[in-house]
């Protein structure tokens, strides 16, 4: 089974409440539930979250298949508008991270559950400035929070993950305030569905 196919099966298992097992540095066992979360239906209207974790093709491909996610868009966060284009971001010198903006329905999925997908399926949060064959600060692991509630949930989820002993290495995910999200070029959107599933790091 390809890593990408396994990733989508893991998403389904995760959302069904089945124990999730990561490859690489993860130990066996059930992935911890969110330590702090916003109850489903306590927020009104669409909510937005932005994540970085390696190649944005894979992050987008995972989240767009999660129930309750309305859209997942590839783009760039952390840098300036004038350098928000793929050729420049790829240099690793613009400050951007390849990111994905996730718009979700909080009546169907909570931010804590989205964090669980991010930490357990979409990437390896112990890899510093790389995922799979991709390396550089543009592939860093990061959560760009939009509110104090998201910041609190993200920090608690990261700490819970570290305390669980699931990984043998430290979780290096940055938790930082949101910056302007710049949508990536059209050819990067739904890239794996268009070009094939064997071209990215997703598990």
Q: Which residue has the tokens 């804590």?
A: 112
How many angstroms separate the CA atoms of 175 and 147, rounded? 12
CB proximity list for 99: less than 8 A, separation 6 or greater = 50, 51, 52, 56, 59, 74, 75, 76, 77, 78, 142, 144, 181
146 and 48 Cβ atoms separated by less than 8 Å: yes
Q: How far is CA 182 from the centre of its chain?
A: 16
* Catalytic status, residue 200: no
Catalytic residue, chosen from 11, 35, 50, 55, is: 55
CB proximity list for 164: less than 8 A, separation 6 or greater = 29, 31, 32
* Residues assigned a catalytic role: 55
């Amino acid at each position: 089974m390809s890593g990408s196919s396994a990733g989508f099966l893991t998403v389904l298992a995760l959302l069904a409440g089945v124990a999730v097992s990561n490859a690489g540095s993860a130990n066996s066992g059930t992935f911890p539930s969110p330590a702090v979360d916003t109850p489903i239906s306590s927020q009104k209207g669409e909510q937005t979250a932005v994540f970085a974790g390696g190649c944005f093709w894979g992050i987008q491909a995972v989240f767009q298949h999660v129930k309750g996610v309305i859209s997942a868009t590839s783009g760039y966060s952390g840098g300036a508008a004038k350098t928000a284009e793929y050729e420049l971001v790829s240099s690793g010198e613009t400050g951007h991270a390849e990111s994905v903006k996730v718009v979700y329905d909080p009546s169907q999925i909570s931010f804590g559950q989205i964090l669980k997908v991010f930490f357990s399926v979409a990437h390896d949060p112990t890899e510093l400035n790389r995922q799979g064959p991709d390396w550089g600060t543009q592939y860093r692991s990061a959560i760009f929070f939009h509110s104090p509630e998201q910041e609190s949930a993200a920090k608690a989820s990261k700490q819970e993950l570290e305390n669980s002993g699931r990984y043998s290495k430290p979780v290096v995910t940055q938790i930082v305030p949101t910056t302007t999200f710049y949508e990536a070029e059209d050819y990067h959107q739904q890239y794996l569905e268009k070009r094939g599933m064997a071209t990215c790091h997703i598990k």
